[in-house]
Every structure is written in C-alpha cells, then in structure tokens.
C-alpha cells in the first residue's frame, strides 16, 4: 500500500500544552477506557451509523469532539448503548488517526473543503463509455484527487455494450493506471463481477462518478447484499430510503474488503491539492525535482523537470502526463 505524506490528516496531530506548563504533549490518554471500536458506515445529518462487531448501531458525536468531523470509513471509539436496538443512541468519543483522507472542494473558487471518505486505499473512478459521454478532464481531476490523497486509482469503464474502451484507455496508458471494463449485462454473470471484485479484494475502495454512469448498477452487482445493507441502515436511521447525499460503506461478500459508494458528482473541486503531493505518484519524475525552485508548480520556466527529461532520466510523455493532470487544477468551462 502506498502512502504519501507524513500527516495525511493534520487534524489528527494534536499538540496540547501539559497540565503543569506549556510543554507540548503529543499523546492524549484516552478518557473513555471502556469505549469499543467501531467503523463508520454512513453519516446522515449528524446521525452516524457504525458497525460494532457484527451489529449496526446508531450514534452521535460526543460534544468533546468539538468541530472534528466524523466521516464514512472512520475508525472510532464508542460508549453508551451499543445494543443496536431501536431508538438507542451511542456516543462517539474518539476518531482514530486516519491513514488517508479523500477531500473534495465543492468548487475551485470555494476554499471550503469536505472530507468525503477516510481510510480508503483505492479510488475507483467510474466512467461510462457512452451515455453520458466520458469526460476526460473529470477523470483527470479525480486522478489528481487520488494522487493527492495517496489513494491508488482504478479506472472503471462502464456501459461497454455502447462504445469501445480503446480510445479512452490510450489516454491513460502512460499513467499506468489499472482499469476494468464492464457492462450491466456482463455483470449479471457472477464470474464477471468476481473479476472486478479481484481488484477490490482486501481493500477499502471509494467509488466516485458522474451521475448516470451506472455506479449503482455496478455496486449492486458487486455487493449483492446491498439492498439488505441499505435496509439495515434505514432501520436504524428510521428514514424511508438511504439518502444519496452521503457516502455509504458496503462490505464485499466474504468480508474481503469494502466498497464505499459516494453520491454522483458533477465536478471535483481541487482547491486543496498540493503539486508536491501529486508528484509522489510519479517516482520517476520526483527524483528530478531537486533542482526545482521552492514551491515549484512543476509547470513553470525554472522547473528542473525539463532538464531531467532532456538528460534522459525520464520519459517526456510522463512529464507531459503529469503536467496535463496538474493543469486540471485550473478551472475551465464545463468542469
Ligand atoms: N446500456 C447500458 N446501460 C446501463 C449500463 N449500466 C447501467 N445502465 C443504465 O444507465 C442508467 C443509470 O444507471 P445507474 O446505475 O442508476 O447510474 P448511477 O451512476 O448510479 O446514477 P445516479 O443514481 O444518478 O448517481 C440506468 O438506466 C441503467 O439501467 C450498461 O452497462 N449498459
Ligand atoms: Zn518543478
């Protein structure tokens, strides 16, 4: 598993003055020693549904957590009524340090960023080959978000019955991104669904995609128990249907990993992205950035990467691909 950046979530690194003086302490002794671990399945307006052992329970955030958010994928510590019985409400008293955070800015001009999913290892970027037409810039933006967050991307191309995948795949060949090509009819056969599941085994995969690309069709084929899982969540939240405004974690059959379904996106704001983190996904180029000016955008006249490529240390097409991705941070009509 690749991890980029020392502190994926600054929020988790707390330094507090000690009781006697101002000597910083980096650890806080857990106050709630009777708390049990839980895994956040979904969050619906402050109502948090968690998996505790094999029970689905309903909880809210303890006041002591302050403004710290709790998101799908979080590992948490919970106290209170853990029976999961109707009308019970437990309290989340701690959010464990996150191994990754997938962020999204609503809009590039809007610096407000949301953490979409915590602790995912992989980002499945779901794109239809037709109806709706693929949007390569949206794919690029999702790739940048994945690289920035330290998630490994997986391209999932759906509706292969409507158009071939070759042209689109050619665009991503140099980036070395793994891919799967699927269609609704193929997925009816469980053996085909298994081929997709192989890419998800043992990992936590967040699925993102534009509305209408067939993400629900795909996720339902991958997680046959989805309806049951959604039903469980509904039983706990008491709502008629699962809200599509929140992400939902679903277990793959046989406990081989998690699929995190996220609401359809129209755009993927990248205000928060740091080129210094994105380049970790390009180890062949990263080695050449030593001669770059401070805070180099890697797309400016003094960037050392042009010389690095000219000297034959890396492939010029790779530099082109990196710059194409970084350029998607500039907002354009239609993003
Ligand atoms: N031809 C074709 N149609 C498909 C395929 N997969 C899904 N569809 C259709 O595309 C439409 C959208 O599919 P959904 O699975 O609801 O897509 P979604 O991405 O979840 O869309 P939202 O719910 O809007 O986020 C539906 O009418 C599906 O029947 C496919 O492989 N081929
Ligand atoms: Zn540079």
Name the percent of the chain lying above pLDDT 70. 81
* Protein residue whose Cα sits closest to atom 13 of ligand 1: 214
Helix, strand, coil percentages (3-state) for the chain, rounded to 5, are: 30, 25, 45
CA distance 282 to 153: 13
Structure ipTM: 0.96
What length does the chain have? 335
CA distance 158 to 174: 21
Q: Give the model confidence (pLDDT) of 288-324 as tens digits.
A: 999 999 989 899 999 999 999 999 999 998 999 899 8
Residue 267 lies in a domain: no
Indicate the pTM of the whole model: 0.83
Residues 127, 41, single domain; the answer is no
Residue 114 alpha carbon to ligand 2 centre in Å: 28
Burial (Cβ within 10 Å: 0-12, 13-18, ≥19) of residue 295: exposed
* Protein residue whose Cα sits closest to atom 15 of ligand 1: 214
Strands 179-181 and 122-128: unpaired
CA nearest neighbour of 119 among 205, 57, 53: 205
**Residue 261 bridge partners (DSSP):** 207, 248
CATH number, domain with residue 83: 2.40.50.140
**Residue 200 bridge partners (DSSP):** none
Q: Give the model confidence (pLDDT) of 255-270 as tens digits.
A: 889 999 988 777 777 7
Residue 303 alpha carbon to ligand 2 centre in Å: 4
Residues 133, 230, single domain; the answer is yes
**DSSP character string of 47-61:** EEEEEETTEEEEEEE
Confidence of residue 24 (pLDDT cuts 50, 70, 90): low
Q: Give the model confidence (pLDDT) of 75-117 as tens digits.
A: 999 999 999 888 899 999 999 999 999 987 665 555 566 778 9
Q: Which residues form the domain of 311?
A: 275-327
The residues near 314 (Cβ < 8 Å, ≥ 6 apart) are 284, 285, 288, 305, 308
pLDDT at 1 over 50: no
Does the annotation place 328 within a ligand binding site? no
Residues 255, 131, single domain; the answer is yes
Residues 139, 249, single domain; the answer is yes
Mutate to test the pocket of ligand 1, among 161, 216, 244 (most ligand atoms within 8 A of CB): 216
pLDDT at 122 over 90: yes
pLDDT at position 67: 82
* Protein residue whose Cα sits closest to atom 1 of ligand 1: 159
Q: What are phi and psi for residue 50, nearest 5 degrees? A: -125, 155
Average pLDDT of span 21-46: 75
Residue 133 lies in a domain: yes
pLDDT at position 4: 43
Q: Which of 208, 234, 261 is the last residue of a domain?
A: 261
């Amino acid at each position: 598993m690749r991890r980029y950046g020392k502190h994926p979530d600054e929020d988790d690194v707390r330094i507090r003055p000690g009781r006697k003086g101002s000597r910083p302490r980096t650890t806080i002794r857990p106050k709630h020693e009777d708390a049990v671990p839980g895994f956040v399945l979904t969050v619906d307006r402050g109502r948090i549904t968690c998996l505790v052992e094999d029970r689905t329970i309903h909880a809210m955030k303890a006041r002591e957590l302050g403004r710290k958010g709790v998101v799908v994928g979080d590992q948490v510590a919970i106290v209170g009524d853990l029976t999961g019985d109707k009308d019970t409400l437990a309290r989340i008293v701690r959010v464990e340090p996150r191994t990754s955070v997938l962020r999204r800015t609503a809009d590039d001009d809007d610096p407000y960023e949301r953490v979409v999913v915590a602790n995912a290892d992989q980002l499945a970027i779901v794109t239809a080959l037709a109806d709706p037409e693929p949007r390569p810039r949206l794919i690029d933006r999702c790739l940048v978000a994945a690289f920035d967050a330290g998630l490994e991307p997986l391209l999932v191309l759906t509706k292969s019955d409507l158009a071939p995948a070759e042209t689109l795949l050619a665009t991503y060949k140099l980036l070395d991104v793994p891919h799967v090509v699927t269609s609704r009819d193929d997925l009816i056969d469980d053996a085909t669904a298994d081929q997709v599941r192989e890419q998800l085994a043992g990992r936590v995969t967040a699925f993102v995609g534009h509305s209408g690309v067939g993400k629900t069709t795909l996720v339902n084929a991958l997680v046959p128990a989805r309806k049951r899982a959604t039903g469980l969540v509904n039983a706990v939240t008491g709502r008629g249907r699962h809200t599509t405004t929140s992400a939902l974690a679903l277990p793959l059959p046989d406990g081989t990993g998690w699929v995190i379904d996220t609401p359809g996106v129209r755009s993927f704001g990248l205000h928060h992205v740091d080129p210094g983190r994105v380049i970790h996904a390009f180890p062949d180029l990263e080695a050449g950035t030593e001669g770059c000016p401070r805070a180099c955008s890697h797309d400016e006249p003094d960037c050392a990467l042009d010389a690095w490529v000219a000297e034959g240390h890396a492939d010029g097409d790779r530099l082109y691909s990196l710059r194409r991705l970084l350029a998607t941070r500039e907002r354009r009509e239609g993003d």
